[in-house]
Structure formats: C-alpha cells, structure tokens
Amino acid sequence: MPNLVPPVKTVEEAEAYRERILQHVPEGVQFDPRMVLYFTDHTPPSEVLKIKQSAHVNAIKLYPAGATTNSDNGVSDIRKVYAVLEQLEKHQVPLLLHGEVTHSHVDIFDREKRFLDEVLSPILKQFPKLKVVLEHITTSDAAQFVLEQDRNIAATITPQHLLFNRNDMLVGGIKPHFYCLPILKRQSHQKTLLEVATSGNPKFFLGTDSAPHAQNAKENACGCAGCYSAPTAIELYAQAFDQVGKIERLEGFASFFGADFYGLPRNTSSITLVKEDQVIPESFDYLENQKIIPLHAGKTIHWRKV
C-alpha cells in the first residue's frame, strides 16, 4: 500500500519503493510485490496511462482525506478527481477504495454505508464501467452493494472482520490491537461477511490490510488504526472458513479470485495447511527496543502452515 510518509504518488516513486522492498527479500525467496499509487487531489490524469503501461504497478488507492492512517494527503472531494476517474474507466485500471466518509458528525459505525450511498453510488452512475475494489469491507450493506453490482465491482475482506466483531474490541475493556479502520462492526455484519467470503463468489477475495504498527503506537491515548496479521494471516482465514464448514472454498478466496480480477496470472506454486494447533506469538521484535503485537496474540488457532 502507498500510504507511506511521504506517500507514493507516481509510478516512478512506486518503482523505487518496490526496489527498496526487494532489497530485504531473503536470498532464494520468490517475491513479486504488486504496487499501488496514492490518489490525491492533484493526481494528474496522465498518470493513469503510466499505471496501465507499468510492469509492476497495478492500481491506485483512494483514501478519503483523514479516513485512516497516513491519509492526510487523500482525496478531499471526489468531484475534484473526475478527470482521473474518467481515465481509470477508459484504461480499466482498478480503483481501490477505503470506503468511508469522514464527516465529523457521522457516527463511526455508519461511515461505510454513508460512503456507499453518498460517494460510490454517484461515481458508478457517472462511470459505470469503472473497475473498483472496495477494500476491507466491514458491513452487510457493503456486501449487498457488491452483490448487486456488475462484475467490475469487487471487495476484499480481512481476517479480523471474519473472526471478530466490536464486542471483541470493547467488552471487558478496550483492546487496542483490535482497533482498525473501518472499525469492527456488529456480530450480524460479521456473519454476513463470513457468508459472502465463503460462498465461492469471485467478487470477494483476500485482503489482509495488515498494518505493522509498533506496540507503543497502538497502546496510547491516540492509538493508531491497524491490525498486524501478516505472519499468520492464511491460518486465521483458514480458521474462519473452517468454523463455518467451508474450508474447501479458501483456495479460491485466497489464491484465485483476486488475481483473476486484476488480470494477473495465478501463482503456480502452493503452500500446505494442516489442521494442527498453534499459539500465535505474544509479540515480534520490531526496530530498536520496540515490539509489534500481532492479531490474536497469545491465542491458540487450529491451523498451521507447513
């Protein structure tokens, strides 16, 4: 994702970021990072063709200004970027959305639905062939919205939104390592997300939204948003699919549907999961004298990657 400080706003910057990532890949490990640009009020329409022609950059991400971590440079008013949206539709470059409004008077639990009604629906009327991924959806409203659209609209779902709801974050005291944006919602929304994720519908696929925030950045009076799931994400998804008896549908959700939507080749290599208990580590070392607390730290899950 491109929401660094400073943000990754051009194809040239994305290619440079990719090279920095590749410098840390262990020898012998195959890793081909796919890059995304940060959509701002000032993104030139000409940058869209550069994305289309790039070998490594595949999409552009719209963060409404102020919606989440490092989103200050995000789009302040969708009407300012219609010229870019026109080019995205023309070249079929995917638009990735953090789907929330940011008005201070709107309840945080209603912000996703309000985005669908007030922002995305008008966009799709203006640009009906726009290729859109609603990233990390959290509500039954978003799931139903995606189901009702044509094949050019898809969504990703995180492990935390399949396994947990706002009770897990709030009951018995606030648990900052469950805090992410969009925020965890009611159990009824969690149930719907599980249903669509495990349905085999190719409109829904894996998107961890894993965020490696240090413990001291999460556990303070203004804790940052994001859950760190990367080390055990696939096992957490397996747990979610298995608990509703749909483990056989994990492969499509995790490995096929996203690649197909983006027009990328499916991976030919594979991993193996076994149903075997493992305890998620309490923490991971991070930078100097800092730690990261992973999602579901210290808890036992019933799947392991071998």
130 labelled as ligand-binding?
no
Please say if 77 is a catalytic residue.
no
56 labelled as ligand-binding?
no
Residues 168-184: b if buried by 16+ CB within 10 A, e if exposed: bbeeeeeebbbbbbbbb
98 labelled as ligand-binding?
yes
Among candidates 144, 154, 126, 176, which has minimal Cα distance to 295? 176
Please tell me which residue in 141, 209, 242, 277 is annotated as part of the active site: 209
Contact 184, 164 (CB under 8 A): yes
CA dist 148 → 121, 154, 301 (Å): 12, 11, 34
3 labelled as ligand-binding?
yes
152 labelled as ligand-binding?
no
Q: Two tokens at 180? A: 């992410």
Q: Two tokens at 71? A: 């989103």
209 labelled as ligand-binding?
yes
CA dist 126 → 1, 80, 115, 133, 176 (Å): 27, 14, 16, 17, 39
181 labelled as ligand-binding?
yes
Which residue ranges make up the annotated binding site for substrate?
A: 3, 98, 181, 213, 225
Q: Which residues are annotated as a binding site for Zn(2+)?
A: 61, 98, 136, 209
Catalytic residues: 209
